[in-house]
Amino acid sequence: MDDSTLDFTSSLDVDSKMAFYDVMGSLAHVEMLKACSILPPEDVDRITEGLKAILKEIEEGKFELDYSLEDIHTNIEFSLTERIGPAGGKLHTGRSRNDQVAVDFRMYLRDKVLEAATAIDGLVTSLLKIAEDNAETVMPGFTHMQHAQPVTLAQHMLAYAFKFSRDADRFIDAFNRMNKCPLGAAALAGTTYPIDRFMTSEALGFKEPTENSMDSVSDRDFVNEVAFCAAQTQIHLSSLCEELVYWSSQEFAFIEMDDKYTTGSSIMPQKKNPDIAELVRGKTGGVVGSLVTMLVLTKGLPLTYNRDLQEDKKPVMESMDTVIRCLEIMEKVMSTTTFKADRLMEVTSRGQINATDLADYLVTKGVPFREAHGIVGAAVRESIESGVNLEDMPLDKLKSFCDKIEDDVYKFIPVKSCVDRRESYGGTSPTSTDEQMSKAIEQLMLREETLRQEKQLIDNCWKNLLS
């Protein structure tokens, strides 16, 4: 092979991140070969001892990569053979590089997915704390970035908590679908050796073996799905960060970010910049780009393995690293941000934000909603021109728009009343947000238990293989 060909085809800089998983997969594989009497016990013992020595060097950062070999899998196998002699060459019995790479990548992404879901739950916890502390804090709700209806800060934070909870659930769903073991599918057609794929699957913490050997080595659905989960999570982060950037401006002045998570200006001493929020927003393009890369990469590939699939690792590895880092830093940002309740209430009191409630009041008096909409529109125009909020208008002025308006209107249209009366399921009243809080905490606790169990199962598998 020409040096330029080796350089062009090498994946070592990327797949070396899977070194740990390659060794664990090999340990499970060789134990199965021993149990099935495919390899003699003495060879398996030498192979196992050599693999454990290599793993120790990997974990200590002492394992030297040979760049004349194109990937981490070859590096480990060649190093093993150098250490223990010809027995090392028997490790590859009953498997191919195709199923070896597939199982390594699944194990790598399993851990990354669990790490991402855990990081999401950290952010959700910080959002729930803000919601808990601000059940009565009123703020403007927006549509089209215009004041729409009054809501609570608790409702706003819970909206993000449920978005991120779905993101965590999507990662766990992806974990469950990818948690099948392709090892033993060999190149594409299975193997003539009497292997036990269920044994290796269980040893590596998978739910079961993959069902079809051709699908096993060609499938990258799990990579695409993880890339989507990362992109969707990052998009939700970007949306949150967009609001934080607005809210920290002097024009909004809704929040004060902690000094530890902001930066100053190189020339303007008064500046306090929301750089973390801006960077998280900026990194979204790369994460979305990784999803697009994977979709295009896997478009139109014939069965089964094609070398194109070597390019599957870098985009999703980078996107997962990015989204996990963003989640972890945003948990710190949110847990240290101060929300200015007085300012939020002050801004909410402007802009006839209670207009919908006045229309709803008229409906209770028998006025058809469309007619009520027009009546309130006229009242809003008067409010804008006079500078008097709807709830501060005298009764006779309100009655000039509709004679069905009575004294009881002042129980309907104060901003706080507008919030408190929205007790429908999922609404913004403190009663409703209390229910939402309970639901969000329940989801969080169930997810945390699921993550704990999956991590424990995988950890136990590693301990068993290394014992």
Q: What is the DSSP string of 341-383?
A: HHHHHHHHTSTTTTHHHHHHHHHHTT--HHHHHHHHHHHHHHH
Domains of the chain: which residue ranges? 3-93, 98-346+436-466, 355-413
Secondary structure, 3-state, 71-91: CHHHHHHHHHHHHHHHHHHHC
Q: Which CATH superfamily does the domain covering 98-346+436-466 fall into?
A: Fumarase/aspartase (Central domain) (1.20.200.10)
For 188-211, the pLDDT digits (tens) are 999 999 999 999 999 999 999 999
Tokens in use for 267? 């020339």
For 339-386, the pLDDT digits (tens) are 999 999 999 988 789 999 999 999 999 999 999 999 999 999 999 999
What is residue 167's predicted lDDT score, i.e. its pLDDT?
A: 98
Report the CATH number of the 3-93 domain: 1.10.275.10
What is residue 265's predicted lDDT score, i.e. its pLDDT?
A: 76
What is residue 267's predicted lDDT score, i.e. its pLDDT?
A: 84
Q: Which CATH superfamily does the domain covering 355-413 fall into?
A: Fumarase/aspartase (C-terminal domain) (1.10.40.30)
Residues annotated catalytic, as ranges: 144, 265
Q: Are 170 and 446 in contact (CB under 8 A)?
A: no
- How does DSSP assign 32-61, residue by residue? HHHHTTSS-HHHHHHHHHHHHHHHHHHHTT
Apex 262 CA angle, 256 and 264, nearest 5:
110
Is the confidence at residue 64, as pLDDT, over 90? yes
Apex 398 CA angle, 394 and 400, nearest 5:
120
Pairing state between β 255-256 and 338-339: antiparallel
Residue 138: DSSP 8-state: E
Query: What predicted TM-score, i.e. pTM, was given to this entire model?
Result: 0.94
Give which of 105, 104, 108 is closest to 116, Cα–Cα.
108
